[in-house]
Structure 1
Amino acid sequence: MTGINEAAPAYAQDVTAVATKLRGHSGPIVVLSHENPDGDALGSVLGLTRALRALGKTVVAPMDVPRYLRFLPEAGELSPPLTEWPADALAAVLDVDNNDPARVAGADLTTFTGEVVNIDHHGTNARRAAALVVDPGQPATAMMVADVVDALGAPWSEAIATPLMLGLSTDTGSFRFDSVTPETFEVAARLRAHGARLGWLNDQLGQNPRAYYLLLREVLGTLEFLFGGRVVLARVDEAMLAQAGATWEDVESYVSLLRSAQGAVLAVMVKDFGDRVKLSLRSRGNVSAQNVAVALGGGGHVPAAGASIPLPYAEVWPRLEQAIAAELARAETAPS
């Protein structure tokens, strides 16, 4: 199996630089990721946090974990959001651009005066940090964290490998997306060899509370097939949550369900908060969810992206419709 030593030289140098910065820092290390963390965010944070603690480092990992992922962290290993930075701290920002402090959760980066290391796979990353590994060609940040763990010389364990497998599996759609590379399977094999509990992860992720299904019934009542069936869109608001006894966390996986509609190349899940809207987008083929999100001030990956817009849905819809139309037109003329 290949590893970091056989990777591209520039990538290997970046991994080494990040590991050197983390290993050489004597003060506390604050490990952060993005708002509304997904499996890759949580898995990357837990994997790196546990590896650093195994090396004797003082690590603070503030994160508000969504309900569907709460099976993974151990009691007390994650903390509430920081109200102030520890003295002599180093910030490790994972799965999000550290130059977009509005998306970094757990601490206020705008007040931080120390050094930052950044591990991320978003193509919109500004690439500004004391040390960084940024590679949009990697389907999950957890893949890069696995290489950093190797470079740190941390002792591998099931406790480190399992959360990284979570990140790798969820960000590749259980290895179904075109973003999967041969190296993805090599990293998965490495993690499995280190004891990653893949079957257990899938069993935990497959369990949903009763409110999930009651809310799904409400959401499906809003379902629309647009642009000749190429776009499927659904909406959820506070009244629907109250009717089902659900929370916003129960909405997270619905967009992937919408993406499964036959003939659809773009799925849009609209979270309608009244005075603002949050969009979750998934695409297939040569249609880019990222392009639609960027046109609306958001970002993400080509197959999975999102945007938050501080306007009521009635005002957002014309802009969303225009962005979708432009992307579908581009995709029609783009080479396959």
Structure 2
Amino acid sequence: MTASNTSSATYSADVRAVADALGAHTGPLVLLAHENPDGDALGSVLGLARALRSVGREVVAPMDVPRYLAFLVGPTEISASLDTFPPEAMVVVLDVDNNDPVRVAGAPLSKFAGPVVNIDHHGTNRRAATALVVDPSRPATAMIVADVIDAMNIPWTEGIATPLMLGLNTDTGSFRFSSVTPDTFTCAGRLLAHGARLAWLNDELGQHPHTYYTLLREVLNTLEFQHEGRVVLARVDDGMLTRTGATWEDVESYVSLFRNAEGAQLAVMVKDFGDRVKLSLRSRRGLSAQNVAVALGGGGHVSAAGATVNEPYPVVRTQLEQAIQSELDRFDAAPL
């Protein structure tokens, strides 16, 4: 099944198709998301898993949950990564393109030959699955999952609504990003009406370990303001983690912090692993983080994107500078 647009009628038909596919499948459902899961990935998986389990479905949800999101997960809700799939399984891939098996985490999707459902909101999704609903106009996959749950007529509980609110809250920057629409608030209102604990989520998300701050002190020493402050770049490597006792999880929110620098249109957080580099990009005021990421073999949204390049940082730095300059040139040449 393929989808070429996200009109209201097409979106409703795709949601219905996904709901029907999930309802008709009698075997186990394996829920997968992307590597380094964020709030939307975990929230979408956990919300859908709880909904399906509440009506007696067998669900396996393998994920390496980051420490800062572990507060939401019950002791048996998430499993370790799978080496093989259960017999007669259907795979549901959330918040990532199922045609990108390198980014899909939790199980070897490239070895799976059964039915695959895809629920995603990334514009770079290639839209090919047994059933799918992909809508880049939704700022979070959790919004789409909420519609699928409604289409399946599964009764709502606080336990289902809260993780979906996590996804909606984190992927909209606590409802601050330009991706927020009237429908976003309508969905948030629905989730609140179902008992979603927004204040509790915000309080938990605001907690950081001490290593977050000791690592930040080192990362700030790498901070660069480029192109007259339009681009902010910082780097972290293993040596910094060793000196501060921090982990890579402590790095995740730094890029959003640097995006708030006055005058900045693009923030780049460089994670230097030595033989490869992972880039987290956030943009504002019309610049496209997505364009920069795609130029480096990655993808994502216009305002939030990323890429992994299997080269040492000095090589990646040159490629990154070229991609940034190209995007700045495009932006500056665009009509006002």
Q: Deviations over 1:288-333 (max 9, x none)?
A: 0000000000000000000000000011111000000000110112
Counterpart residue identity of residue 273, structure 2? F
Distance 1:272 1:90 in 2: 36
Distance 1:114 1:238 in 2: 39
Q: 5 Å matches for 1:138-217?
A: 138-217=138-217
Deviation at 1:9, TM superposition (A): 1.3
Counterpart residue identity of residue 44, structure 1? S
Counterpart residue identity of residue 39, structure 2? G
Helix, strand or coil: the match of 2:228? helix
Deviation at 1:335, TM superposition (A): 3.5
Q: 5 Å matches for 1:109-124?
A: 109-124=109-124
Q: Deviations over 1:51-74 (max 9, x none)?
A: 100111000000000011000010
Q: Deviations over 1:255-300 (max 9, x none)?
A: 0000010011000000000110000000001100000000000000
Distance 2:147 2:178 in 1: 22
Distance 2:104 2:97 in 1: 8
Helix, strand or coil: the match of 2:291? helix
Distance 1:335 1:243 in 2: 48
1:99 matched to 2:99? The reply is yes
Q: Deviations over 1:157-181 (max 9, x none)?
A: 0000000000000000000000001
Counterpart residue identity of residue 262, structure 2? Q
RMSD of the TM alignment (CA)?
Answer: 0.7
TM-score normalised to structure 2 length: 0.97
Counterpart residue identity of residue 289, structure 1? A
Tell me the residue number matched to 1:4: none
Structure 1: stretches of 5+ with no match in the other structure: 1-6
Distance 2:41 2:173 in 1: 15
1:73 matched to 2:69? The reply is no
Helix, strand or coil: the match of 1:17? helix
Q: Deviations over 1:67-87 (max 9, x none)?
A: 110000100110000011100
Distance 2:272 2:128 in 1: 33
Ranges of 4+ aligned residues in structure 1 off by more than 4 Å: none
Tell me the residue number matched to 1:37: 37
Q: 5 Å matches for 1:182-331?
A: 182-331=182-331
Distance 1:333 1:183 in 2: 32
Deviation at 1:113, TM superposition (A): 0.9
1:135 matched to 2:130? The reply is no
Tell me the residue number matched to 1:14: 14
Helix, strand or coil: the match of 1:122? coil
Distance 2:126 2:190 in 1: 30
Distance 1:226 1:70 in 2: 36
Q: Deviations over 1:86-142 (max 9, x none)?
A: 000000000000000000000111110100000000011010001100011110000
Tell me the residue number matched to 2:3: none
Deviation at 1:8, TM superposition (A): 1.2
Distance 2:174 2:36 in 1: 20
Counterpart residue identity of residue 53, structure 2? R
Distance 1:204 1:335 in 2: 43
Counterpart residue identity of residue 193, structure 1? A
Tell me the residue number matched to 2:4: none
Helix, strand or coil: the match of 2:323? helix
TM-score normalised to structure 1 length: 0.97
Distance 2:203 2:317 in 1: 37
Distance 2:310 2:219 in 1: 22
Helix, strand or coil: the match of 2:72? coil
Distance 1:36 1:229 in 2: 29
